[in-house]
Amino acid sequence: MPRLVISSDGPAAMPGWRAAFQHVAPDLPLAAWHDPALEITADDYALVWDPTADDLARMGGMRAIICTGAGVNHLLDNPAFPRHVPLVRMGGEQTASLMADYVLWATLGLLRGARTWAVQQNAHRWHNPCTSPRTSSETRVGIMGMGHLGTHVGGVLLQVGFQVSGWRRSAQVVPGIRTFAGPEQLPDFLRDVDILINLLPSTPQTRGMIDYALLAQLPRGAAFINVGRGDHVVQADLLRALDEGVLGGAVLDVMEPEPLPPDDPLWAHERVTITPHVASHASQEAQARYVVEVIGQMERNERPALLCDPRRGY
Ligand code: GLV
């Protein structure tokens, strides 16, 4: 009989997890990672966010590790991570919908210049230049990282009427979305993007990839949304691109480091909107529903869709 041992968010989150699993799968046995009497068995699944190296070392004999984050770079980068244990990323309908909602908000905000309105409001300034903004159907949105989340976000942007393209590591056909693959097609992808969205996984290949040289390949004045990881971006290059008008604006949900230090120039930048890593955090109940689905698949020896490949890094 499988059992779920919960470490994610520490002892304080345990009552919430218990209530969520009680609702979704009342028969699934639960245990708290922080219980001093805990004895781990080979039938146990772990639910984690950011366990310590010692915790990870103790997970080596478990059936699988399920992460409450959609990004797992912090686990795979930890030398103590037991690479032989299956690792599954967070997914599910609510995780994807929340991400799509955030990206839609950020995209429309950039399209309409919402940051300028916020700055004006802060200064009690009424300024209406009566210019006619570009519409969604006239705007080309490009998504870097067309995995589970990127594909969903692309579909939602398409429904709204944006022109959507995507870039990923290897070729893939997504109806309605023009897709580009690999480093050789990156310049062609960037050339036709008005709003660039980063949803890449953080891997040794993608870290630091979004630098001045990459941003300069976008049409001048394009905008940038980061919902991937802060370490994809060379932050000094991003600032330079904004200051030189290479980029017209940015919405950043992730930075390096987090929290962003109080004296970082990005905070006060007139064309930057900062949110504190909030894009997609599904409720405990929605996460519980997904976890139960994953455990069911693994118990039936099916492959969960978001099973990670440690060699690939996501
Ligand atoms: C948040 O960034 C996550 O990985 O889910």
Q: What is the mean pLDDT of residues 55-65?
A: 97
d(CA 41, CA 62): 6
70 CB near ligand 1 (under 6 Å): yes
Ordered by start, the domain boundaries in the chain are 3-92+282-299, 94-274
d(CA 227, ligand 1 centre) in Å: 9
Q: Residue 158: its pLDDT value, please?
A: 98
59: its two tokens = 């997970």
In angstroms and rounded to an integer, the radius of gyration of the C-alpha atoms of the chain is 21
Task: Tell me if 3-92+282-299 shares its fold with 94-274.
Answer: yes
Angle 186-203-181 from CA coordinates, rounded to 5°: 25
d(CA 308, ligand 1 centre) in Å: 14
CB 93 within 8 A of CB 71: no
Q: Residue 149: its pLDDT value, please?
A: 98
pLDDT digits (tens, 9 = 90+) for 70-119: 999 999 999 999 999 999 999 999 999 999 999 999 999 999 999 999 99
Q: Is the pLDDT of residue 306 over 90?
A: yes
Q: Which of 50, 88, 90 to mutate to test the pocket of ligand 1 (most atoms within 8 A of CB)?
A: 90
239 CB near ligand 1 (under 6 Å): no
Q: Residue 132: its pLDDT value, please?
A: 85
Confirm whether 148 is a catalytic residue.
Answer: no
CA atoms within 13 A on the CB side of 190: 22
Continuous segment of H or E residues that includes residue 94: helix 93-112
Give percent of the chain above pLDDT 90. 97
Q: Which residue, by CA, sits nearest to atom 5 of ligand 1?
A: 69
Q: Is the pLDDT of residue 1 over 90?
A: no
Q: Residue 112: its pLDDT value, please?
A: 96
292: its two tokens = 């139960």
Whose structure tokens read 């968010």? 9
Q: What are the backbone dihedrals phi and psi of residue 7, each rounded to the nearest 5 degrees, phi first?
A: -115, -20
Q: What is the mean pLDDT of residues 28-35?
A: 98
The secondary structure of 19-30, three-state, reads HHHHHHCCCCCE
69 CB near ligand 1 (under 6 Å): yes
249 DSSP β-pair partners: 223
CATH architecture of 94-274: 3-Layer(aba) Sandwich (3.40)
Give percent of the chain above pLDDT 70. 100
102: its two tokens = 């955030």
Confirm whether 277 is a catalytic residue.
Answer: yes
pLDDT digits (tens, 9 = 90+) for 273-287: 999 999 999 999 999
Q: Residue 302: its pLDDT value, please?
A: 98
Ligand 1 atom, smallest distance to 277 CA: 2
Q: Residue 153: its pLDDT value, please?
A: 98
pLDDT digits (tens, 9 = 90+) for 237-252: 999 999 999 999 999 9
Q: Residue 131: its pLDDT value, please?
A: 86
**What separation in angstroms does the CA of 103 have from each of 180, 220, 225, 252?**
20, 21, 8, 11
Q: Which residue, by CA, sits nearest to atom 3 of ligand 1?
A: 69
pLDDT digits (tens, 9 = 90+) for 121-174: 999 999 998 888 899 999 999 999 999 999 999 999 999 999 999 999 998 899
Q: Which CATH class is domain 3-92+282-299?
A: alpha beta
